[in-house]
Amino acid sequence: MTAGKKIIVVALGGNALVQEGEKGTIGEQFANTRKSITGIVQCIKKGFEVVITHGNGPQVGNMLLRTELSRDKVPELPLGICVADTEGAIGYMIQQTMVNGLLKEQINKCVVTVLTQVIVDKDDSAFRNPSKPIGSFFTADEAGEIINEKGWAMVEDSHRGYRRVVASPMPVKIVERESIKKLLVSGEVVIAAGGGGIPVIVEEDGSLEGADVVVDKDLASSILALDIKADYLMMLTGVENVCLDYGGSDQKPLGSITVEEAERYMAEGHFPPGSMGPKIQAAINFLKGGGESAFITAIDKVWEAIAGKTGTRIVP
């Protein structure tokens, strides 16, 4: 890394590529990506070294649906391969868009996508308690057939039908962290840990083996940020500020809060596991590990959040 430059990990939320009400066509995803990278280009222009991470929920869901529809014609793809596939495809979209954005600003930097493996503990209790819904919705009868045929765990999700649930263990370490550091030292913009990274476990002999689980993107981003000694962690989502009593009559947006306050609000139930909870936990983990500041804001408010004009900033 260039001496004196701050390092920031920017985690693009799922809405960065596929927004509510869209079909998720490649054209739509490229258009949304162009909007999402504006603030990131501004950070680079201001002298930051940048690593970009991203979600992949809609894309993995579509890939699993294609696998289901064609299972009588081609071999099924395991979940880990779907994660790897989407990590490459989304990385390509962000990479090309970033190259064009930097070219427009006459910034001479390369952009590199790193297919990233993330180690999870094979003894993590999450393996015994699958909880993360993925893929298509099924009727109760269809779900029963799938359970009998494949042994999947299925749950009713949001009154829209039944979905497969998989384990979501905690990320432990980024396998390619040293390569990512070297790329940053060379002045490159790095895209890594897409979709939380490709989950792997470590066998007794030290070899790696893929695991059909998913890793939370924000928690993986926090691990990556600590591994590369980043100063800032920026998590971009669909709202400008984290709120207490979100959606309620007493909704209150948060500006700057401490780790202690964040932990208290978590304990009070303000940040559910399925929405803001992982982002707050990722921020807490990052700051307790030595990070300087964590931010949560909307995808088009990156620089404004860093400048203290909007967003939620969490500090030690």
Question: Rounded to the nearest 5°, which phi and psi values hold at 47?
Answer: 105, 5
CA-closest candidate to residue 291, choices 307, 257, 314, 312 = 314
How many CB atoms neighbour CB 156 within 10 A? 13
Catalytic residue, candidates 13, 15, 55, 101: 15
Catalytic residue, candidates 195, 196, 279, 291: 279
Determine whether 129 is an active site residue. no
Determine whether 35 is an active site residue. no
CA-closest candidate to residue 220, choices 272, 165, 266, 174 = 174
Catalytic residue, candidates 217, 241, 291, 301: 217
The end-to-end CA distance of the chain, in Å, is 24
Determine whether 301 is an active site residue. no
Task: Say if residues 90 and 59 touch (Cβ distance below 8 Å).
Answer: yes
Strand order in the sheet with 208-210: 171-174, 117-120, 198-202, 208-210
Helices 177-185 and 217-227: angle between axes, nearest 10 degrees: 60
Determine whether 45 is an active site residue. no
Catalytic residue, candidates 13, 32, 91, 132: 132
Determine whether 15 is an active site residue. yes
Catalytic residue, candidates 13, 14, 55, 57: 14
Active-site residues, by number, are 14-15, 132, 217, 279
